[in-house]
Structure 1
Amino acid sequence: MSELRERLAALDTCLISDALDSLGLAGAVAGVLPVWEGGRLAGRVVPMRTVPAEGRSAPRHLGTAALELAEPGDIVVVEQAEAGTVPVSATWGGLLALTASLREVGGIVVDGACRDVDEIRELRLPVSARAVVPFTARGRYIEDTVGEPIVFAGVPVNPGDWVAADASGVVFVPSARIGEVLDIAERLVAKERLMAEALRRGDAPSAVLGRNYEEMLDGE
């Protein structure tokens, strides 16, 4: 698993998205971005889902069960149901971030909001979210499921799937297809490296970025 994580971490989300495209797989998500510059992440998914509390109380704070389930290097992925364009609360904050850091969790991805960004930055914990707000989840959101399938921005995500996130967005890769996706993405890296070398030595852009570029996913 560590080898797969290292290979995934070496790729950017754009090339992983291209590899998914070549296989006809959905998995790329736009608009969920690092909350501090440089917060890249890659690893296996521990999914959880939060829902509006609507007057219900919870036996524990959301996120704690996912952190106890996660192995070092895993990524906690949060579906914040009905979050809307401006979520009414965060579903990740400073104490949860501290716990994640102490347990060597690889990062957090939230289809919703987080808070305590200054603390998260100081911890150097990679966190990607759709929004940042100051509002607590207490009394607003509760945990619904942990370690069960979720839907993240329309993408089905299962326990043990793979996720990567950087400044371009987030990509999910089904566990059963990770080797195939990595192989294709790595071949695309090699192709783009050759094109970059050609541009640097002065080859015409129209030649370098011609038909071969437009069709570089064909046959992958």
Structure 2
Amino acid sequence: MATLADRLDRCYSGAIYDVMRDMGLRPGVLPRTIRGLVPDQRVAGPVFTVRGRPDPEVDAHTSLLEWTGLLSRAPAGHVIVCQPQDDTRALMGELSAEALKLRGVRGYIVDGGCRDTELIIEQGFPVFCRYTTPVDIVAAWRPEAFDEPVTIGNVTIRAGDFVLADRDGIIVIPADRAKEIIARTEAVIATESELRRAIRAGEDPQRAYLQYGKF
């Protein structure tokens, strides 16, 4: 039986957005500057949040010990969403991505940087970030909170929320409405498939809209 995360992974962000809008909810869309390392990357699942901060006083050993501790905390079947409060360093690299993938983590979204991108792409581990840089976190950055709310752009993400990231962008689904939103989105996608067949069969676009109530 498909999990809620698996069902969400078969949806797409535009359909989720439409459903949340039509439900009177404010769709939680992350800034468009956060993109996948490659255009066809996608990831969906429940969120594990991380918040950290630059610390010029931290030594190399402590920073790496705390970073590897972050990797060890990440639960299988989840998507890590990281607010590093940092605009300089890479908050993901090749060895970290491989460790997370082997632990069963679905993917990684960061309001910050990434490095070793070619190697991460070869691994097939989904990473969404704002920029790339060779600068790492050693003796410069440390995590400070796990599974606590983080804010990216104007969206607050909480542990247990769901996230879907695809070619069009990243949308956050509140935990208490996830089942309903995903079920409604599945119904919308089924209707869109019927609408698509009608259009391909030569149906007038306006008549198709009036018949299916979607476009």
Normalising by structure 2, what TM-score? 0.88
Query: 2:148 matched to which residue of 1?
Result: 148
Match of 2:73 among 69, 76, 83: 69
Q: Matched residues in 1 for 2:204 and 2:70: separation?
A: 52
Query: 1:109 matched to which residue of 2?
Result: 109
Distance 1:65 1:21, change over 3 A: farther
In the TM superposition, what is the alpha-carbon distance from 1:19 to its structure 2 partner? 1.8
Q: Once superposed, what is the RMSD of the aligned Cα atoms?
A: 2.2
Greater shift after overlay, 63-72 or 101-110? 63-72
In the TM superposition, what is the alpha-carbon distance from 1:108 to its structure 2 partner? 0.4
Q: 3-state DSSP class of the match of 2:130? A: strand
Distance 1:92 1:141, change over 3 A: same
**Structure-to-structure mapping, 1:149-164, within 5 angstroms:** 149-164=149-164
Distance 1:129 1:25, change over 3 A: same
Query: 2:27 matched to which residue of 1?
Result: 26
Query: 2:130 matched to which residue of 1?
Result: 130
Q: Which amino acid aligns with 1:129?
A: C
Percent sequence identity over aligned pairs? 28
Q: Matched residues in 2 for 1:65 and 1:26: separation?
A: 33
Q: Matched residues in 2 for 1:137 and 1:210: separation?
A: 55
Distance 1:71 1:142, change over 3 A: closer
Normalising by structure 1, what TM-score? 0.86
Structure 2 unaligned residues grouped into runs of 5+: none
Q: Matched residues in 2 for 1:14 and 1:33: separation?
A: 15
Query: 1:43 matched to which residue of 2?
Result: 45
Query: What is the number of equivalent residue pairs in this alignment?
Result: 210
Distance 1:161 1:66, change over 3 A: farther
Structure 1 unaligned residues grouped into runs of 5+: 215-220
Contact 1:26/1:155 (<8 A) preserved: no
Q: Matched residues in 1 for 2:94 and 2:206: separation?
A: 49
Q: 3-state DSSP class of the match of 2:151? A: strand
Match of 1:78 among 78, 82, 100: 82
